[in-house]
């Protein structure tokens, strides 16, 4: 008992004072007995952040937190005035300084801070996103967690909002922070399982994890199914309220110039605008890049791009990419110019046009495919945002290691020649994986530390609700790593699994560790190097051991009836892990057969895979 008291007093001393005795912890009672002790004051440009703060505080305490505007704010302990009720001021840093004459340092975009002045709490930011981050970080310090969007297959465990009648905030000193990566993007891309509702849920979750950009195709491969205009009316206000960057475009020169335009008459009038194939014919194929050496064709395409952007003023970033799996015009004017040069020349010309006519729009392009390497003789306009794509990256190796040197040389080539911002268009969730649980938080951390060392500006990832549970740990941990690449990955995995699996979280951590160690190296995985057959046998044995453990855990929770509600959800999530383990086992078997020469390389789902996908349909595991 004496030893426990000694530890208690030491900890108490550490809390209330620093080495020099200056810093003291302050306990502020936010609500007690169902009544709010604070009001929320909303800055002029931050109503959403203030509403979010009041909403979650009310959920936690049952108390009503009123929201007033900043014009009525008075410091609770202003000199020479009668004390007033304390407030949580939610506003920009400059506004906080002007309202109460508090000396807050100038804050950069997306920078956020938590301050205490007297009894007042200030949640401030350098811009609207910064203020929103301040609110969510403050709520995290009160115990809130959001590990995923509120997708139904999480069965309510996507978030944790503590409930207490007495809520206090322990302030251990003012703090500021800012994400290290400027661009932190989610791509809708093929959007096979996205709906309006799932996108709204994703948008609600993104700022809680610090993601700041949603990228939606203008019209994915011209199909008319996944295109911004389908969701624009509903999603734009939700994105803008949160300050999320709206990025639209994608593969699509052909969206602005193709042979079917103007009722098919465009090709008849101007066949010379269209790319020439190897046989000397002007092609109507949408994968053929138009004749970029033809001024009339360039003018027509640019005019359509500008018209589209004028009609869509909500777009902050426009993605200007050639067709996917593109072919380049082989006419006598184009042929002497490399694809890299043509691509950069076209992007530079559009960047100049947008700078003159739509200066608030950022132009983005790719380093990808035939234009992965920077061209000689022409430099990309530094106003352009470049997304670098290591399309066939070997995930058994880091970017800088043997096996990925082709991409690493290209990346360094851009760093040497391009003065603008470079973000990495990752394939950390790839359609070709067929929803294999490639969970690799430590790999992501090493990559992000490398990108930071090189001075890169951002990172992105695909998203699909259909297999979000499969990649959930990656999404959660990436949200933290994109802000701070040195974040404690193991602690984050503990947080994720404790929230999702409750008392079974240690088993879940074991299984995710197994996925990290085996999927990239032992499964039927793109660009993986063959291994000795014994390696696949050892991987299968490890999976079988975990399958046995999961079965035992499920039996533990389901012995007797009825099963408590909390245990029932834990069992549901364990069954999901069981499905992923079965899939990994099947994939290891197929890879072994491939290495043994008993099957050909084919990354389409097999019959056994399709049967497994059907069995677990709607559970957030697989995208067909």
Please, which pLDDT band fits residue 241 given cuts at 50, 70 and 90? very high
**Does 154 share its domain with 282?**
no
Is residue 221 assigned to a domain?
Answer: no
Domain-located, residue 201: no
What is the reported pLDDT for 547? 98
Asked whether the beta carbons of 76 and 83 are under 8 A apart, the reply is: yes
Q: Which of 177, 198, 220 is the last residue of a domain?
A: 177
- For 533-567, letters b (16+ CB in 10 Å) and e give eebbeebbebbeebbebbeebbeebeeeeeeeeeb
Angle at 615 between CA 612 and CA 616, to 5 degrees: 90
pLDDT tens-digit readout, 589-611: 999 999 998 877 677 888 999 99
Q: Could you tell me the pLDDT band of residue 16, with boundaries at 50, 70 and 90?
A: very low
> 1 versus 361: which is more confidently predicted?
361
Closest CA to 67 of 54, 57, 77, 79: 54
Q: What is the pLDDT of residue 72?
A: 81
CA atoms within 13 A on the CB side of 387: 27
Query: Are 571 and 157 a contacting pair, CB within 8 Å?
Result: no
Residue 10 has pLDDT above 70, yes or no: no
Whether 34 and 170 share a structural domain: yes
Distances in Å between the alpha carbon of 300 and those of 93, 219, 254, 268, 285? Answer: 45, 19, 12, 15, 18
> Does residue 121 form part of some domain?
yes
Round to whole Å and give the CA distance between 317 and 154: 32
516, 440 in Cβ contact below 8 A?
yes
Decide which of 127, 142, 177 is a domain's last residue: 177
Q: Specify the pTM.
A: 0.94
Spatial separation of the C-alpha atoms in residues 217 and 212, rounded to whole Å: 17
Dist. CA 550–CA 554, nearest whole Å = 6
- What would the mean pLDDT of 435-443 be, rounded to a whole number? 98
pLDDT band at 80 (very low <50, low <70, confident <90, very high): low
Helix residue ranges per DSSP H, 398-488: 405-417, 441-454, 468-481
Please list, in sequence order, all residues whose beta carbon lies within 8 angstroms of the beta carbon of residue 77, skipping any fewer than 6 positions away: 83, 118, 119, 120
Kindly state the tokens that stand for 45: 């440009």
What mean pLDDT comes out for the span 484-502?
A: 98
The whole domain housing 163 covers: 21-177
pLDDT: is 433 or 2 the higher one? 433
What pLDDT is stored for residue 313 in this prediction? 98
Residues 149, 32 share a domain: yes
How far is the CA of 324 from the CAs of 267, 289, 422, in angstroms?
A: 21, 10, 20
* Separation CA 209–CA 483 (nearest Å): 9
Residue 20: band (very low, low, confident or very high) from pLDDT cuts 50, 70, 90? very low
Name the more confident of 477 and 624.
477
Tell me: the pLDDT tens digits for 37-59?
Answer: 999 999 988 899 999 999 999 99
Q: Within a domain: residue 565?
A: yes
Helix axis angle, 468-481 to 441-454, nearest 10°: 40
How far out from the chain centre does Cα 459 lie? 8
Measured CA angle at 151 (ends 145, 157), to 5 deg: 40
- Quick check: is 547 in a domain? yes
Calculate mean pLDDT across residues 204-208: 98
**Hey, is 157 helix, strand or coil?**
coil
Last residue of a domain, one of 331, 363, 395: 363
Give the pLDDT confidence of 334-348 residue by residue, as tens digits. 999 999 999 999 999
Is 140 in the same domain as 258? no
Q: What is the pLDDT of residues 518-568, one digit of tens each?
A: 999 999 988 889 999 999 999 999 999 999 999 999 999 887 667 777 799
DSSP 513-569: HHHHHHHHHHSS-TTPPP--HHHHHHHHHHHHHHHHHHHHHHHHHHSSSSPPHHHHH
CATH code for position 126: 3.30.379.10
Judgement on whether residues 155 and 270 belong to the same structural domain of the protein: no
Q: What's the average model confidence in pLDDT over 224-240?
A: 95
User: What pLDDT is stored for residue 81 in this prediction?
Assistant: 60
Q: Is residue 187 within 8 Å of residue 161, measured between CB atoms?
A: no
pLDDT higher than threshold 60 for residue 23? no
Residue 400 lies in a domain: no
For residues 154 and 257, membership in a common domain is answered with: no
Kindly state the greatest CA–CA separation across the chain.
94
Q: What's the CA gap between 600 and 586, in Å, rounded?
A: 16
Nearest alpha-carbon partner for 210 in 232, 177, 188: 177
Question: Is-contact 285 328, C-beta < 8 A?
Answer: no
4 — pLDDT class (breaks 50, 70, 90): very low
- 72 and 157 inside one domain: yes
Mean pLDDT over 204-219 rounds to 97
pLDDT in tens, 342-374: 999 999 999 999 999 999 999 999 999 999 999
- Residue 39: inside a domain, yes or no? yes
- Co-location of 53 and 137 in the same domain: yes
Distance CA 334, CA 337 (A): 6
In a domain, 480, yes or no: no
Tell me the mean pLDDT in the region 443-448. 98
Residue 355's contacts (CB-CB under 8 Å, 6 or more residues apart) are 383
Query: Confidence band (pLDDT; 50, 70, 90) for 83?
Result: low
pLDDT confidence of residue 76: 81
Helix (H, G, I), strand (E, B) or coil at 274: coil
pLDDT in the model for residue 51 = 97
Strands (E), 22-66: 26-32, 35-36, 39-42
Cα-atom radius of gyration of the chain, to the nearest Å?
Answer: 27
- Structurally, the chain folds into a number of domains equal to 3
Strand pairing of 245-251 and 213-217?
A: parallel
Taking the C-alpha atoms of residue 411 and residue 387, their distance in angstroms, rounded to an integer, is: 10
For 113-120, what is the mean pLDDT? 93
pLDDT at 461 over 50: yes
SS3 422: strand
For residues 451 and 459, is the Cβ–Cβ distance under 8 A?
Answer: yes
Which of 6-15, 265-274, 558-567 has the largest mean confidence? 265-274
- Token pair of 32, please? 């007690």
Based on the domain organization, do 129 and 261 belong to the same domain?
no
31 plus 157 within the same structural domain: yes
Residue 487's Cβ-side half-sphere holds a number of Cα atoms within 13 Å equal to 22
């Amino acid at each position: 008992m004496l030893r426990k008291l000694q530890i208690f007093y030491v900890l108490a001393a550490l809390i209330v004072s620093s080495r020099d005795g200056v810093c003291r912890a302050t306990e502020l009672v936010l609500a007690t007995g169902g009544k709010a002790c604070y009001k929320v004051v909303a800055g002029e440009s931050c109503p959403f952040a203030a509403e979010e703060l009041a909403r979650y505080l009310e959920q936690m305490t049952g108390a009503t937190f009123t929201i007033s505007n900043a014009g009525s704010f008075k410091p609770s302990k202003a000199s020479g005035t009668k004390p007033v009720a304390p407030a949580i001021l939610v506003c920009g840093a400059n506004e906080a300084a002007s309202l109460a004459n508090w000396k807050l340092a100038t804050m950069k975009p997306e920078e956020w801070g938590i301050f205490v002045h007297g009894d007042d709490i200030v949640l401030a930011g350098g811009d609207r996103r910064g203020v929103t981050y301040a609110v969510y970080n403050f709520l995290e310090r009160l115990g809130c967690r959001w590990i995923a969007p509120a997708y139904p297959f999480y069965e309510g465990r996507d978030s944790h909002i503590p409930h207490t009648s007495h809520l206090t905030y322990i302030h251990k000193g003012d703090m500021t922070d800012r994400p290290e990566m400027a661009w932190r993007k989610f791509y809708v891309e093929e959007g096979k399982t996205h709906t309006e509702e799932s996108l709204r849920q994703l948008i609600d979750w993104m700022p809680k994890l610090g993601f700041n950009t949603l990228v939606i195709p203008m019209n994915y491969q011209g199909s008319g199914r996944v295109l911004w205009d389908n969701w624009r009316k509903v999603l734009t206000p939700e994105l803008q309220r949160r300050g999320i960057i709206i990025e639209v475009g994608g593969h699509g020169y052909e969206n602005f110039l193709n042979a079917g335009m103007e009722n098919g008459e465009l090709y008849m009038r101007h066949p010379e605008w269209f790319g020439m194939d190897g046989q000397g014919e002007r092609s109507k194929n949408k994968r053929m890049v138009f004749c970029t050496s033809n001024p009339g064709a360039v003018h027509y395409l640019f005019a359509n791009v500008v018209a589209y952007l004028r009609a869509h003023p909500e777009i902050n970033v426009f993605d200007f990419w050639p067709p996917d799996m593109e072919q380049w015009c082989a006419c006598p004017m184009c042929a002497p110019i490399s694809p890299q040069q043509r691509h950069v020349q076209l992007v530079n010309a559009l960047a100049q046009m947008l700078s003159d006519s739509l200066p608030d729009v950022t132009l983005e392009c790719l380093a990808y495919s035939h234009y992965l390497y920077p061209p000689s003789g022409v430099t990309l306009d530094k106003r352009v945002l470049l997304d670098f794509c290591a399309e066939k990256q070997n995930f058994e190796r880091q970017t800088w290691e043997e096996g990925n040197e082709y991409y690493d040389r290209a990346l360094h080539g851009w760093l040497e020649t391009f003065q603008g911002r470079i973000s990495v268009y990752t394939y950390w969730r790839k359609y070709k994986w067929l929803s294999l649980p490639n969970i690799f938080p430590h790999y992501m951390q090493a990559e992000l530390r490398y990108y930071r060392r090189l001075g890169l500006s951002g990172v992105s990832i695909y998203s699909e609700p259909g297999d979000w549970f499969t990649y959930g740990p990656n999404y959660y941990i990436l949200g933290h790593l994109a802000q701070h690449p040195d974040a404690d990955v193991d602690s984050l995995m503990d947080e994720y699994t404790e929230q999702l699996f409750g008392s079974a979280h240690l088993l879940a951590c074991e299984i995710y560790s197994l996925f990290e160690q085996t999927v990239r190296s032992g499964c039927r995985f793109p660009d993986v190097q063959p291994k000795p057959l014994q390696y696949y046998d050892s991987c299968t044995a490890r999976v079988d051991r975990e399958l046995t453990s999961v079965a035992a855990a499920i039996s533990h929770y389901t012995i007797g009836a009825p099963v408590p509600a909390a245990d029932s959800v834990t069992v549901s999530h364990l069954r999901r892990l069981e499905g992923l383990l079965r899939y990994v086992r099947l994939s290891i078997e197929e890879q072994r057969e491939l290495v043994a020469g008993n099957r050909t390389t084919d990354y389409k789902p097999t019959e056994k895979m399709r049967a497994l996908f059907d069995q677990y349909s709607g559970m957030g595991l697989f995208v067909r």
